[in-house]
A and B are shown apart, each in its own frame.
Chain A
Amino acid sequence: MFRARGLVWVGCLLVVSALASACAANTPTPLQKGLRVVAIESFLADMAQNVAGDRLHVDTLMPIGADPHGFEPTPQDVKKIAESDVLILNGAGFEEFLQKLVQNAGGEHQLIQASKGLTSRALKPNEPHDADNPGDPHFWFDPTKAVTYVENIRDGLTHADPAGAATYAQNAAAYIAKLNALDEKIKQQVSVIPPARRKLVTDHDTFGYFADRYGFEIVGMIAPSFSTADSSTAQQLAQLIDTIKATNAPAIFLEQNANPALAAQLARDTGAQVVTGLYTHSLSEPNGPAPTYIQMLEYDTQKIVDALK
C-alpha cells in the first residue's frame, strides 16, 4: 500500500512541477533587443540602464532590498547569469560570496567590472595590511568614483555591441553630467552641517568614500569589518561608546535591514540619535524613496544632513 500511495504523491509533485513550468512559460519575459545584459546589484543595473538607454534592457540579479550576504540564488537566477551576454559586477571583492556561482554558472559572457581602475582608500591605521586584502569595495558612495563605473560600463557595452558605440557614448556623457551635478548637490547639502558635527557612526564601513569626499570623519562602526555576519566584541563596543562621547557624534546611522537593538543600546548610553533605513547595497522599490542610484545618494545624504545639521 505504501508504494501505491507513494507513487501517487510523487505523481502529485510532478504535476505541481509541470503546472509551475506552464506558469513560468506564460510569464512574458521582458523584451530584449539583442544583447542580454545582467547587473548583479540594483544600483549597477540603474547606472547601466542609463548608459544603455532604449537600446538594451538591463536585468538585475539580486532582488530589491536583498542583503548580499543572505542572498540565496535560485536556479532561475543562475540561469540569468548563464544566459547573459554581458555581466556587470561591482568587483573589488564585493561579490566574493557569489564568485563560485558566477564561475560555475556556465555560458559565455563578457564581464564588466564596474570598479576597474579605482584604487581602494587607505585602511585605518590599526588594520593589518594584508597583501591579498581587496580593500573597501563601496566606491559608489562617491559620485565622482561612480563616474568611473559609468565609463567602464560604457566601454564594456561598446565592446559587446560596437554598433551602439555612439548611443552609449552620448548616454554616458549625459549621465556623467548628472553624476557631477549630484556631487555638487551633495556638497551643497552637506555645507549646512557645521564642520564639528560632520561625524559618522555607522553599522558597517560602507561610507568610507562618502566621508573622504565630503569631509566627514568616520568616528566609529558597530561592526568594524565589512561583513554583515560579523559581530562586535565587548571591548569594541565599550571603545565605541567612549569615542562617541568624546567626539560628541550626534547620530548613529543604520542601513536598511540592520538590527537596531545594539544601536539603541549605544544611543541610550551616549545620547546619540539613531537614524535607520539608509539605502546602501540595494535601491528601494520603484515607488520607494530611492528607486535610482542618484536618488539613493540624495536620500541618504538628506537623512545624514537632517540628523547632523
Chain B
Amino acid sequence: MIQIFTEPLAYGFMQRGMLAAVMVGILCAVVGCYVVLRGMAYLGDAISHAILPGVAIAYVLKGDILVGALVAAILVALAIGFFTQRGNIKEDTAIGILFAATLSLGIAIISTIKTYALDLTHILFGNVLGASDTDLVLIAILSVIVLVTLLALYKELLVVSFDPVLAATLRLPTNLLINILLILIALAVVISLQTVGVGLVAAMLVTPAATANLLTRRLPTMMLIAGMLGALASIIGLYLSYYLNIASGAVIVLTTTVFFFIAYVFAPARGIFWNLRHRPPHAAPTR
C-alpha cells in the first residue's frame, strides 16, 4: 500500500513536479482569495495572456524572456488598476478589454517575426513535469516575497478591499495598496505560468479560494484552507496523473474542481445539504 505513494517519488521529475505544484498551489490559492473576493476571476487568465507581447518583445530584443513576461504582467496589472480607479469602468470590464488587447498585441508582434522553429506561445503551456531546480528556487523565493508582503499588509489590504469608507477614514493610500495587490497577483501568475502552464494557474487562482469561501467567512481562515486545498489537490492530482496516465496539469485542475463540488454540496451553513436539512433556511449570513 505504502508503495503506491512512494513509487512515483522514485523519479526526480515527479519529486520536482510535486514540489513545484504544491508551491504554486499554495501561492496561487492564497493570492486567489483576494481574486475571488474582489470578483476578478479572469485576472489570472488575463495576466497569463498579457505576458505574450512582453515575451515577444524580449525575444526580438534578445533579452531575457522571463523579464519580458514580468514587465508585461506588471504593466497590465497596473493598467487594470488605473482604469478601475478612475471609477467609470468596472474591474472585470477593464480585465476583459486588456486581456483581448494584450493577447492580440502579442500575436501581432509574433506575426512580424519570421524565423523557423519559433513558437512563443509555448511559454503559455509550461508543464509541471518539466520543472527544473532553477524553477523550484525561483518559485520558492517569489512565494516567500509575495506571501510575506500579503501578511505584512494584511490589515491594510483587507480594509481597502472590503471597506472603502473605513479606508478613506483611515486615510489609507487606497490606489497604491490596490496596485501592490495587483502586482503581487501578477508576480504569482508569471512565476507559476513558467512552471505549470496557463490552465493550471487560472484554476489555482480561483477554485481553491472559491472552495474555501464556502467553508468560512473569515479571510485568514479562508487563506489557510485555500492554501491547504491547493497543496492537497496538487499532490492527489499528480498521483492520479501518474497512475491514470493523464496529463498532470489537467488532473490537478479537475481535483480542485472535485473539492469545490464537494464543498458546494456539503459545506456547513452554505451547502445544498445543509439547507435541505434546515428548512426554512437560516437567513444567510452575509459578509
Interface residues of A (CB under 8 A from B): 1-2, 5-6, 9-10, 13-14, 16-18, 20-21, 24, 69, 72-76, 78-79, 82, 93-94, 96-97, 100-101, 103-107, 123, 126-128, 130, 133-137, 205, 224-233
Central interface residue in B111, B131, B273, by most chain A CB within 10 Å = B111
Determine if B118 and A75 form an interchain contact, defined as CB atoms under 8 angstroms apart: no
Determine if B258 and A79 form an interchain contact, defined as CB atoms under 8 angstroms apart: no
- Known contacts A133-B116, A225-B114: does B122 contact A69 (CB below 8 Å)? yes
Determine if B115 and A2 form an interchain contact, defined as CB atoms under 8 angstroms apart: no
Determine if B116 and A233 form an interchain contact, defined as CB atoms under 8 angstroms apart: no
Query: Roughly how many angstroms separate A193 CA and B94 CA in the complex, as a whole number?
Result: 58
Chain B contacts with A in 231-287, Cβ cutoff 8 A: 236, 238-250, 255, 258, 262-263, 266-268, 271, 273
Q: Is B14 an interface residue (CB 8 A)?
A: yes
Interface residues of B (CB under 8 A from A): 1, 4, 7-8, 11-14, 16-17, 107, 110-111, 113-119, 121-122, 125-127, 129-132, 215, 236, 238-250, 255, 258, 262-263, 266-268, 271, 273
Residues in chain B near residue A106, CB distance under 8 A: 11-13
Query: Roughly how many angstroms separate A117 CA and B112 CA in the complex, as a whole number?
Result: 31
Determine if B266 and A6 form an interchain contact, defined as CB atoms under 8 angstroms apart: yes
Central interface residue in A106, A137, A232, by most chain B CB within 10 Å = A106
- Known contacts A1-B268, A17-B243: does B117 contact A79 (CB below 8 Å)? no
- State the majority secondary structure of interface residues on A: loop
Residues in chain A near residue B215, CB distance under 8 A: 2
Query: Roughly how many angstroms separate A100 CA and B129 CA in the complex, as a whole number?
Result: 9
Q: List 27 A-B contacts (CB under 8 A).
A: A13-B236, A17-B4, A20-B243, A24-B245, A73-B129, A73-B247, A74-B241, A75-B242, A75-B245, A75-B248, A78-B130, A82-B12, A96-B117, A96-B122, A100-B132, A101-B13, A101-B130, A103-B130, A105-B129, A107-B12, A127-B115, A133-B116, A134-B117, A225-B118, A230-B110, A230-B111, A232-B111
Partner of B117, one of A94, A107, A224, A233: A94
Nearest Cβ in chain B — how far from A116, in angstroms?
17
Nearest Cβ in chain B — how far from A228, in angstroms?
8
Determine if B266 and A231 form an interchain contact, defined as CB atoms under 8 angstroms apart: no
Determine if A72 and B247 form an interchain contact, defined as CB atoms under 8 angstroms apart: yes
Given contacts A9-B262, A106-B11, 16 further A-B contacts (CB under 8 A): A20-B240, A20-B244, A74-B241, A78-B11, A78-B130, A82-B13, A96-B119, A96-B122, A97-B119, A101-B130, A104-B16, A128-B114, A136-B116, A137-B117, A226-B116, A227-B119
Query: Roughly how many angstroms separate A130 CA and B113 CA in the complex, as a whole number?
Result: 11
Residues in chain A near residue B132, CB distance under 8 A: 100, 103-104
Residues in chain B near residue A130, CB distance under 8 A: 115
Determine if A2 and B238 form an interchain contact, defined as CB atoms under 8 angstroms apart: no
Residues in chain B near residue A105, CB distance under 8 A: 12-13, 129-130
Partner of A227, one of B117, B247, B267, B273: B117
Residues in chain A near residue B271, CB distance under 8 A: 2
B243 and chain A: residue at smallest CB distance: A20
Nearest 5 interchain pairs by C-beta: A106-B12, A20-B243, A101-B130, A227-B119, A100-B130
Residues in chain A near residue B118, CB distance under 8 A: 225-227
Central interface residue in B4, B117, B118, B127, by most chain A CB within 10 Å = B117
